[in-house]
Structure 1
């Protein structure tokens, strides 16, 4: 039996919840090297992970995500750490739990679960059952460390997201899942935002919340939100978009979003039907503090159109899902090591 989830209770109290910002971007600013596994810092630099979470809590986050995005054995194998899945994920949750418990208010610890980086059959070698086992191994560690919910994120393949959801149910944690709609308004493997609600059909426990994260910019993820909320208005929907648009400056990736832009993104997200709003790549502590202030001062207004979003946030980078007409696609499934 899956444990009761804390998200519904906090939504009942607060209405809309603020999730945290970027893990990768902020850890890179703390000295994480490109190609280095952030999960190893749970043991080698725990003080920096504490600072990451504490800064987000201080900025007003209601939900903090553990430093475990690449915590499956398939990801950790790239760093010869495939036999340390349980300990690294447990430590990730313990660090976040320690910060949350000192917050003086309710802060939910969500166990971040990213893609394995492998393709499932028939496109690749991994079976569905093997994926479930890999995710369950990770989520067991997160639960042991005090995570209250499995936060499945940045997915592109529906079958992989379903495998992670099944693993969470097996372990006994409530779960959420989000997709990255970064390919012509759809996920890399062809899922349209309006179909996000149907991914885990047939499982004995439904998701606490579903939605989108990462992607190609704030305007695009808000357009995806409109499709998701129109398809199921009563759903609890997560939007955790990147901070503006990524741009190369030399060898560095810089995100265009200002605190003002991210504040307006929050208002539009709430108006568009999101119940949990946060930031992904590029979202700093200062951005999140501005988002908290915007959320606290906002009264839900008229549902925006795509045109209104573009006018306030900027142009779309991609076609919308209904314009693209893409079917199930075969594509590169390589995911970033951390939510940059």
Structure 2
């Protein structure tokens, strides 16, 4: 078992993760509805460029192009028999980039949701979910991933199934959820719920947190919610680069590089140890985030008013955790900055 990320967590004040996979690949020509994972074998030079862009911008860690790599997701493209292959190749390409970086860079094997609803609400059983996640995890491990990285999860049942699968694969892991529904995940999980859940898992993730969601302001409010629980497990923040706008037939995120630099500093001051970007975050954003983290001194945790003033209004008045929880303050809603 590799301990590369654990070692980096011990040696670094803060770890800069990568940015957006999908946004970058769309800019490279990926068509809407096309499975990005197929590019691991069909367009390997572009996937290498995706990884290299993050490394060149200063990222200490990047995710593999395997987010939709479970059998359930690949079945939509007739590629459900290629789970192990596509995950292995995605990690192999990442390993090559990381090994020639001239410094330690972590390859994190990305694992996204299955897209299915788990029992008892849906039809996906725990056993089948574990099997699907295990199959992908084995491919990522064989390809040389340092750590498995679960992301954009909404249901606690799916999070637990992935944790069990990762234990079977024998790799350390991290896991984030997406808090996109008035401070909760789509399945109702709050920041406090997640902080408790991860401590009950065996093995627990090396780090946990939030990614994607609505915007950077909401994500930082969730990070403050994690920090308020008082645990010592490292927190992950991977917020979107602003809010999506539909312009000339394409989705555009309005967060500027300068704004993402401010977000990175606020994320660190809010308690996050691993900080990156999600949708819309390009290398130019990562460069500003790297510079801001390296040159700006650590400060006190920002207030909700300060977050709203700098990054824009929250999408909801409450973070979903109750009257006395961080975020349930209508006064914190401010005017959103334009990117």
Shorter-chain-normalised TM-score: which range?
A: over 0.9
The answer to whether the Cα contact below 8 Å between 2:68 and 2:113 also exists between their aligned partners in 1 is yes
SS in 1 for 2:95: helix
Aligned length: 323
SS in 1 for 2:222: helix
CA shift, 1:30, in A, is: 0.1
The range that moved more, 302-311 or 199-208, is 199-208
Segments of structure 1 that go 5 or more residues without pairing to the other structure are: 326-340
The answer to whether the Cα contact below 8 Å between 1:217 and 1:242 also exists between their aligned partners in 2 is yes
What is the rounded CA distance, in whole Å, between the counterparts of 2:90 and 2:189 in structure 1? 30
Matches within 5 A, 1:31-180: 31-180=29-178
2:277 equivalent to 1:279: yes
CA shift, 1:299, in A, is: 1.8
What is the rounded CA distance, in whole Å, between the counterparts of 1:185 and 1:268 in structure 2? 18
What is the rounded CA distance, in whole Å, between the counterparts of 1:298 and 1:208 in structure 2? 26
How does the TM-score come out when normalised to structure 2? 0.93
Q: How far does the alpha carbon of each residue in 1:18-61 deviate from its partner, in whole angstroms, 9 at most, with x for none?
A: 00000000000000000000000000000000000001100000
The answer to whether the Cα contact below 8 Å between 1:223 and 1:320 also exists between their aligned partners in 2 is no
**Cα-Cα RMSD:** 1.3
The answer to whether the Cα contact below 8 Å between 2:182 and 2:320 also exists between their aligned partners in 1 is no
The answer to whether the Cα contact below 8 Å between 1:156 and 1:179 also exists between their aligned partners in 2 is yes
What is the rounded CA distance, in whole Å, between the counterparts of 1:162 and 1:310 in structure 2? 33
Structure number with greater CO (CA < 8 Å, separation at least 6) is 1
Q: Check 1:251–1:324 CA distance in 2 against 1; reply closer, same or farther (3 A cut).
A: farther
CA shift, 1:298, in A, is: 2.2
Q: 1:298 aligns with which of 269, 275, 296?
A: 296
Residue in structure 2 matched with residue 254 of structure 1 by the alignment = 252
How does the TM-score come out when normalised to structure 1? 0.93
Segments of structure 2 that go 5 or more residues without pairing to the other structure are: 324-339
Q: How far does the alpha carbon of each residue in 1:54-76 deviate from its partner, in whole angstroms, 9 at most, with x for none?
A: 01100000001000000000000
Q: Check 1:125–1:10 CA distance in 2 against 1; reply closer, same or farther (3 A cut).
A: same
What is the rounded CA distance, in whole Å, between the counterparts of 2:310 and 2:321 in structure 1? 21
CA shift, 1:202, in A, is: 4.6
What is the rounded CA distance, in whole Å, between the counterparts of 2:313 and 2:110 in structure 1? 30
The answer to whether the Cα contact below 8 Å between 1:15 and 1:275 also exists between their aligned partners in 2 is yes
The answer to whether the Cα contact below 8 Å between 1:195 and 1:228 also exists between their aligned partners in 2 is no
Residue in structure 1 matched with residue 330 of structure 2 by the alignment = none
What is the rounded CA distance, in whole Å, between the counterparts of 1:66 and 1:95 in structure 2? 8
SS in 1 for 2:228: helix
Q: How far does the alpha carbon of each residue in 1:67-98 deviate from its partner, in whole angstroms, 9 at most, with x for none?
A: 00000000000000000111000000000000
